[in-house]
Amino acid sequence: MADLDKSRQAVLARIAGALRAAGRPDGDCALLAVSKTFPADAVRACHAAGQRAFGENYVQELVDKAAALRDLDVEWHFIGPLQSNKTRPVAETAHWVHSIERLKIAERLSAQRPDALPPLDVCVQVNVSGEASKSGCAPGDAIALAHAVAALPRLRLRGLMCIPEPTEDTARLAGQFAELRRLRDALRADGLALDTLSMGMSADLETAIAEGATLVRVGTALFGSRA
Ligand SMILES: *Cc1c(COP(=O)(O)O)cnc(C)c1O
């Protein structure tokens, strides 16, 4: 297993450097450790190194790891595509869902969120690259979807999430991150109290932070490459 203490410190240093370069305050961007495909023991080691927030893409993996790590105070974020027949275990297990792209999914999560738990924190995912293959709602639908999600009783809309086009063209990436920020700003102007821009991964977190990311989702740079 990778030395998770060392790799986490290196990622935290990248985040701190990017915040400084952007003239943003220390601590203004959180690290979500994306543990998909890695075993519960890897999460345990990363937790021992001080990490609390972990992201998972697959429902069964989320459920299995949450059960195996019940003794730890992990904050679980679901960040993968979510089908309507799989919402219940996510509503019962996750603290956050970043990948809301349709109202129907949000309505089910709200209805299925157990009363004993606090409201589920969510982000609306926006397809800022416009690629047909990509998850997320169309940018033109984001405002209406966000308002509808914010009105659901057992969800708390925290912000927006995106996965940009995989490109090394930094200006192009920056433009896609900036589009998400503009949508967030428009929703704030409408009166929604949003504090989260979930954008940036191992390869592009500096660009995302320069454009306002408040949470970066990092897998490879922490845990190594996935099989
Ligand atoms: C896998 C994944 C990540 C992490 O990507 P890395 O390049 O490994 O850092 C972030 N966000 C989402 C939605 C993912 O599916």
Distance of CA 203 from the midpoint of ligand 1 (Å) = 10
Q: Report the distance separating Cα 212 and Cα 146, nearest Å.
A: 19
pTM of the model as a whole: 0.97
Q: Report the distance separating Cα 202 and Cα 216, nearest Å.
A: 8
- CA geometry: angle 194, 116, 198, nearest 5 deg: 25
Answer yes or no: are the C-beta atoms of 139 and 183 closer than 8 Å: yes
Q: How many CB atoms lie within 10 A of CB 39?
A: 15
pLDDT at 226: 93
Structural domains of the chain, with CATH? 2-222 (3.20.20.10)
Q: Which residue has the tokens 């995912």?
A: 125
C-alpha neighbours within 13 Å on the C-beta side of residue 3: 5
Judged by DSSP in three states, 14 sits in helix
> pLDDT tens digit string along 143-196?
999 999 999 999 999 999 999 998 899 999 999 999 999 999 999 999 999 999
Ligand 1 neighbours by CB, cut-off 6 Å:
34, 36, 57, 79, 163, 201-203, 217-221
Determine phi and psi for 113, rounding to 5 degrees.
Answer: -65, 120
Average confidence score pLDDT of the chain: 96
Answer yes or no: are the C-beta atoms of 97 and 82 closer than 8 Å: yes
List all residues 6 or more positions away from 203 whose beta carbon is below 8 Å from its beta carbon.
220
Candidate from 7, 11, 37, 79 with most ligand 1 atoms within 8 A of CB, to mutate: 79
Region 42-55: mean pLDDT is: 98
> pLDDT tens digit string along 84-113?
999 999 999 999 999 999 999 999 999 999
Q: Which residue has the tokens 């503009």?
A: 182
Distance of CA 218 from the midpoint of ligand 1 (Å) = 6
